[in-house]
Structure formats: C-alpha cells, structure tokens
Amino acid sequence: MREDGRVTSATERPEPQTPDSDRSAPSPRRVRLIATDLDGTLLRDDKSVSDRTVAALAAAERAGIEVFFVTGRPARWMDVVSDHVHGHGLAICANGAAVVDLHREGLVLEVRPLERATALTVVRALRSAAPGVSFAVETVNGIHYEPEYPPFHLDPGADVAAAEKLLSPEREAADLPVIKLLAHHPGLGPDEFLTLARSVAGGHASFTRSSPTALLEISGPGVSKASTLERCCAQRGITREEVVAFGDMPNDVEMLTWAGTSYAMANAHPDVLAATSARTVANNEDGVAVVIEQIVAAQQDDAPRG
C-alpha cells in the first residue's frame, strides 16, 4: 500500500524477471533471523498473506529462526500480518522509526523520532526548492496532513492544516513523537524529487521512497530499516551474516545491503535488483515463502543426528 493510502497495482512495477538459480542459494552460515518487507514482498498485491507463506513463517519458527517484519507502514497498518503472528511478533515500522510488539496490540517498544524543529527545517527547504510540494506528519498516534496532500482514506480522523502548524511546538499534541514526515509533489518524477530533496536537505534527515509516485518518506538522521534492524540484531547477539532479508523498493536497499544474504523480488525496483545478492520469484508467486522453505530444509539437513 502506498503512503497516500491507495493500493498500487502490479502494472506500476518493473516487469518480473526469471529467478537466477546461481544467485538464489541461502547463506552458507546458519540463518538465525529472517527480515522481510511487507508490501510488494511478503504480501500479495491484494494485501493478503497466502497459506503457503503462513506455513513457511511457522516452519521458520519451529526451526528456531526469528522473523522480523520490516516495513514503511505505521504500526496501525500492521493488521495485514497480525493475525498470522505466532512465536514471532516484532515489527520494525515506519522505515525504522518504531519497533512494535504485535503480540501486544501494536505496542510501540522504541521510537527513533524526527525532531519537530528538524522537520520544520526540511519543510522550509523543500517548499523553497520544489514549489507545489505538500506534506503529511506521521506521529505515534496517527497521520495529519495539509489540504493539498492526497487524502488518507484510512485515517478519517486526521487533522488537516499547514505543516508548520502541525509541527508547531505550541500545538496541543506537540509532545507526541514524529516518526515520519511525508512530502508529495504532483509534477516531479519520483527519483528526480528524491535527488532534489537529498541535495537541499539531506544533511538534516534521512530520505527514501517506497511509492511509484513522487512521495518521499523522511526520517530522523541515520534512521533506516537497516540501522534499526542492526540494533535489534545486536541486542540478540545475531550477526549480519546470520540474517536473510527480502525487499522490493528503494526504502529496502540499505537493509538488503546490510544483511548477510539479501533477496530481491522479481517485481523489484531496479535499484533493489542492483543491490541484492540473490533473486526470488515475485510477491504474487510467494517468493519469500519459496526461499524460507529452502532455508528450513537446508538447516534440517545440516542438523546433527541423534
């Protein structure tokens, strides 16, 4: 699902590629953790989790492999997988800005916020560099956006006001952490807008995108799926070589580069295809499940016999 609340179709993605069997073998080191993106990766285009994928996730858990969902979605949009959580339950949301326990109704365990003063600096820089830009502010309790921003049909209770007002320290909810700033431009190309934003404000925040439109996702400096995943793994004594990651869009690139073994979906963005060490079939063909089944089978074969 896009950050404007609308569903993307398969036609908005690059044409699927045939998996390269020479690039699809799991890491030779024992896998201890699987990190997977959701939209365009674990989920099918209709936002469902297939029976095969549910079974593969359960098999990974039985094999002692932890599963992290790592997504640009906010915690309140995690209902797509919460019904399929068994032993696993940790989600890294908002591109690394929040760590959530799905077993406890999306309880936020950690926040890596974008400071409001920094967000205001970014807003001013982008307004000057890209006239026509509009903004939304994602906090721990919901989304709020400007009148010109594409409306969020999933969040009918959102406050609608200028970003400067939404981010004001005098605002009643000013004590709520901002986990992401969103910037939309109706006329620029997605990559063009991302390059421009990084050039004028990249020193203040982290910029990425997961939509096929010119919609940027802006987090605090150094915040990404990769950096939060690395922190979570370090807390568990898991090395990057023991991690297998899956993704399909530019906001996954850092995570896929960090992980010991990374898989691009066949439907992935060209930047993801260039960054990964392996391929799997498309999300609508259960590409994540295909690889998990191979990993579990390989580790069972390698297990010591009694």
Nearest to 226 by CA among 207, 251, 197: 251
Number of domains in the chain: 2
Q: Are residues 121 and 98 in the same domain?
A: no
Residue 38 lies in a domain: yes
Residue 8 lies in a domain: no
Strand partners, 99: 92, 110
- Give me the DSSP letters along 43-112: S-TTS---HHHHHHHHHHHHTT-EEEEE-SS-GGGTHHHHTT-SS--EEEEGGGTEEEEGGGTTEEEEE-
Q: Are residues 138 and 192 in the same domain?
A: yes
**What pLDDT digit, counting tens, does each position of 213-256 carry?**
999 999 999 999 999 999 999 999 999 999 999 999 999 999 99
Task: Report how far residue 142's alpha carbon sits from residue 263's, in angstroms, rounded to the nearest whole number.
Answer: 32
Q: Are residues 232 and 214 in the same domain?
A: no
pLDDT at position 159 is 87
Residue 156 lies in a domain: yes
Q: Are residues 243 and 286 in the same domain?
A: yes
Contact in structure between 155 and 5 (CB atoms under 8 Å) = yes
Exposure string over 43-80, b if 16+ CB within 10 A, otherwise e: bbbeeebbeebeebbbbbbebebbbbbbbbbbbebbeb
Q: Are residues 139 and 99 in the same domain?
A: no
Residue 54 lies in a domain: yes
Task: Report how far residue 100's alpha carbon sits from residue 212's, in angstroms, rounded to the nearest whole number.
Answer: 26
Number of C-beta neighbours around residue 150 at 10 A = 18
pLDDT, the chain, mean = 86
Which amino acid does the sequence have at 78? M
Contact in structure between 144 and 160 (CB atoms under 8 Å) = yes
Domain of 173: which CATH number? Answer: 3.30.1240.10
Residue 107 lies in a domain: yes
Last residue of a domain, one of 219, 248, 275: 219
Contact in structure between 137 and 129 (CB atoms under 8 Å) = no
Q: Considering only CA atoms, give the Rg of the chain.
A: 19
Q: Are residues 124 and 213 in the same domain?
A: yes
Residue 13 lies in a domain: no
Q: Would the pLDDT of 7 be above 70? A: no
Residue 12 lies in a domain: no
Q: Are residues 103 and 190 in the same domain?
A: no
Q: Would the pLDDT of 138 be above 60? A: yes
Percent of the chain with pLDDT over 90: 68
Contact in structure between 49 and 88 (CB atoms under 8 Å) = no
Contact in structure between 66 and 260 (CB atoms under 8 Å) = no
Last residue of a domain, one of 178, 194, 219: 219
Last residue of a domain, one of 219, 240, 275: 219
Q: Are residues 228 and 106 in the same domain?
A: yes
Report the pLDDT averaged over residues 192-199: 97
Q: Are residues 242 and 284 in the same domain?
A: yes
Q: Are residues 86 and 158 in the same domain?
A: no
Domain of 35: which CATH number? Answer: 3.40.50.1000
Q: Would the pLDDT of 12 be above 60? A: no
Q: Are residues 139 and 283 in the same domain?
A: no
Report the pLDDT averaged over residues 55-67: 92
Q: Are residues 257 and 242 in the same domain?
A: yes
Range of the domain at 209: 116-219
